[in-house]
Chains A and B, each alone.
Chain A
Amino acid sequence: MNDDSTLTALTDHLHEVRDSLSDVHMTVPASAIFAAARKRRRRGVAAAGAACAAIALALALALAPASQTRQVHVHLAAWSVDTNPNGTVTFKLRNASQPARLRQALAEAGVPAMVRWGEICLAQGRHVLLPTEGFVGATGVWTYVNGRRSSPSSILEMIGTSPPNTKGLNWSWTITPSKMPKGAQFVISAVPVDRVAPGHIQAVWEFVPSSAHVICAKSVKPG
């Protein structure tokens, strides 16, 4: 088959697929688009003001005596974050529930992170993964890469099994925030064990540039 006939056949087939989606409609009204744009413009103006205030604050802090690292001790059934006297942070994760609170606790401890619960988030392109040697250490727990026990790395995945692993993640790390590269963050996401299909990702931890394009979905196969 030559390219022209292939093009015609595939075009027809793709048009059929597209046309079969006639019941698919955007539910977002135009007013929401305008509102989102307005909100961002206001944020832009506010950000400019905030930038001036931040510069003033930074100058004040630079001139002031060095303050102690903020102490964080948050313990939930699902996870815990503790700062240690030596500047490290102990982070234990059984599941990622209360993601906003976990993200805030980690941020206050000096560990930038994006946290999602109920969907799996992966940075697009494995080349974006950054090394974690030197500032992440395991604390005697099992971690998994593609279902195999492994040492901490820039990506850890727990894969759903049959029967499901109901013991929770039991992931644990010691992180040294002062040694973390700037402009990078952890992306931590997990789905409840009763919602993960065998062979699909139950939980994942990645260390990527903050600018990396991250896509989330409710069910993701590894690979």
Chain B
Amino acid sequence: MRVWGVEEDQQEFAEFYAAARDDCLRVVLISVDDWPLAEDLVAEAFTRAWKAWRKVRQHPAPRAWVVRTALNGHVSWWRRHRREQALASREEPAVPAAHPSLDSSLVTALRRLPVRQREVIALRLLLDLDTATTGLLLGMPSGTVASHLHRGLNALRRDVASLDDQERIP
């Protein structure tokens, strides 16, 4: 009989981290518009995922769990740790604060949405989750997910049109 131990857990989590970290960071970065902050949030979320790995590994969408945790995240440890590193090296981390691709009217409009609508759009459209899984993750019925998505899309369509006629969604 094979006993699943800490080393196997660690190996499995390391593989999950390697495969998912960049995707999670990109989705969070679209929502928060601050590269170092997004990385802090995602690192914090992965730390929590590792601490609860026995539960998270059985989750239907572990990446979405990480993204949702990051968007709700509390970044004190990573922020403090990053500051300690910056002080130790006497310089700021060489990471730009924003990404040029995020300077679009759609991203601006997305960030203006209420948190729930933004979460639903991030999970449904950016992580390609279905409505049921999104609802499971956010603790809401599928109908509420659909409602948030509907309102979010309407707000995005309205805002994008008003922000930039040139980038109007066809």
Q: Shortest Cβ distance from B30 into chain A, in angstroms?
A: 6
Name the residue of chain B whose CB is nearest to the CB of A211.
B74
Docked pose: A28 CA to B150 CA in angstroms: 36
Q: Total A-B residue pairs with C-beta atoms closer than 8 Å?
A: 102
A67 within 8 A of B: no
Q: Shortest Cβ distance from B110 into chain A, in angstroms?
A: 8
- Total B residues in contact with A, Cβ cutoff 8 Å: 47
Residues of A within 8 A of B104 (CB): 17
Interface contact B106-A14, CB-CB below 8 Å: yes
A51 within 8 A of B: no
Residues of A within 8 A of B72 (CB): 213
A216 within 8 A of B: yes
A11 within 8 A of B: yes
Residues of A within 8 A of B170 (CB): 9
User: When each residue 9-45 of chain A gets 1 if its CB lies under 8 Å from chain B and 0 otherwise, what string results?
Assistant: 1110111011011001111101011101100110000
A52 within 8 A of B: no
Q: Shortest Cβ distance from A212 into chain B, in angstroms?
A: 10
State the main secondary structure of chain B at its contact with A: helix
Residues of B within 8 A of A32 (CB): 43
Name the residue of chain A whose CB is nearest to the CB of B121.
A14
Take A27-B39, A33-B46 as given contacts and tell me if A14 and B26 are in contact as well, using a CB distance cutoff of 8 Å. Answer: no
Interface contact A9-B47, CB-CB below 8 Å: no
Residues of B within 8 A of A17 (CB): 30, 101-102, 104, 106-107
Residues of B within 8 A of A18 (CB): 26-27, 30, 126
Measured CB to CB, the residues of A under 8 A from B are: 1, 3, 6-7, 9-11, 13-15, 17-18, 20-21, 24-28, 30, 32-34, 36-37, 40-41, 213, 215-218
Across the A-B interface, the 6 shortest Cβ-Cβ residue pairs: A20-B101, A26-B21, A21-B26, A9-B169, A28-B43, A36-B47
